[in-house]
Every structure is written in C-alpha cells, then in structure tokens.
Structure 1
Amino acid sequence: MAELANCSRCDAVFVKDIRTICQNCYKEEERDFDTVYRFLRDRKNREATVEEIAKATEVPKTLIMKFVKEKRLRTSQFPKLAYPCDKCGTTIVKGHLCFDCYEELKRDLEQHEKNEERSEQQRKKERQSSIYYSFDEKRK
C-alpha cells in the first residue's frame, strides 16, 4: 500500500516508494551526480577532493559525500574521495566509523557485556543466599 511522506529535501508531499525524496528532487540529484561524474571522468580531476569537486561543480559537499557513501562514486577509482567518520570526523572511505572509533566502540561493548555478566552472577548469588529458615520453637 502506498504511503504519503514529505520530501526530505524540499518538504513536498509525495507517494513514498523506494526513495525518501520526491521525483523532482530525485531528478535534480541525478543531474548533480552526472555533473560530478563528468567532472571526475576527466583524467586531471580524478584525484580531486570533495571540497575541490564541490567548488568546481557547485554541487553541495553533503550530496557528493552521499554519492560516495552510496558507492555511486567509488574510492578505488577516485582515491581522494572521502567523508567524515560519524563519531569523530576523521576522513574515511568506507563504513560509518574510522578504525579508532570502531575499536573504541568494540571495547565499550565488550566491557558492557562483562558488566552484564557480573550483574547476572550477582543476582544469582543473591537469590541463592536469600533463603530464609524458620525455627519451630515447639520442636525442641
């Protein structure tokens, strides 16, 4: 069943299918992609950075980074294309996190799992030690 949504770029109402943007914005985005790709196909521009591409093509940096994240512009073909790590801002060419942030997140998750395991062991220990006995004084 079709769902109505607001375009994330122009806020127009449209029938949402695969994309989060309306048809007009999609066409504009495709024109921008063609502009960037034509610029990068030129041999002298293949090592351009995102800032240089944005300045030469007048396409916003965020949109160029979106093309890289979507793997429409491959960093293997254009080696200086990079975008910031979601956490610290270091430039990366794949994923959402740089190696350092990834390792930090991994360590934090491992520490959290250890803490959860200790808490569970403590709860088990408390359940075992919370058994109460009553003494019947008449049974002496």
Structure 2
Amino acid sequence: MVKNKNYNKGILVRTCKKCKKIIDEKSLYDYCPECFKRIEEIFEKIEAYLKEYPGATAFEIEQETKVPYHVINNFVRDGRLIEIPNEYLNFECKRCGCLLLSAHHKYCPICRKELEKEMELAKMQLYKSMHHGNAKMHIRHGDTRRKKY
C-alpha cells in the first residue's frame, strides 16, 4: 500500500503528510509547500545549532533550540540527521548538578538564564554606583612631583 494516497471521487490523489491537503501527484516531497517550508525552517535551526556544537545530543538540541524531541527523532528516522550513540556523555551542571548530556555547555539552560540575569543585575548596580555621585576622593600615591616650599 502506498502512503499519502487516498481516493477522492474514484481518483487516486496524494495528500500532505502533515496537514492532509491535496498535493500534486508528481511532487518530490510528501508535504504541501507551506508545511515543507516550516519543516525546512526547523531543520535549518537544528543544522545551525549542530554547526556551532557538533555532536550535540537530541536532548541538548531540544533544550537549546526548543524543537521537540520527537521532531528531532523524525529527522533521524528520515535519515536527515545521524544519531551517534555515546555512553560516556554524562556531564553535570556546574551550578545545580543536573545531568547535561552534553560536553558543549558547563551549565544547564535554567542556570545559564539565571547567571545571565545575575550578570545583568551586577552590571546595572556597577553602572549606578559609577554614575550617581557616589565617587570618593583618594590620594594618588607614588606622585614624586611634589612642590617644596
């Protein structure tokens, strides 16, 4: 039995795997143009992440790109992504200790966001202390050009 083919008024027609719209029988893809475009955008997002972090796990890709795990597995099933098993990938977040399953990051996404917020807060506090009249006078040590009276 051929997938994505239905009978409509006795005529064999091909439908999009995702939205079930009728597509051209001679189409190269199993998706309508709109669904195909969305799928390609998602794949490009994953591809860009893998270029920056080669060898990332599906779990890590899901955490970082917000692409659901099952979508990543569909790309593996379709042969567009290759999953290389590695039983030695067990890294802990340096802050909370949760399992990362990635050698590319030292902190989990939650801790990274919290650290970024803390850094922004520290920058703001430093900026405020430098620009709000809290400067204090100090004597410059090591100045050998003193006037003698």
Q: TM-score range by the shorter chain?
A: 0.3 to 0.5
TM-score normalised by structure 2 residue count = 0.42
TM-score normalised by structure 1 residue count = 0.44
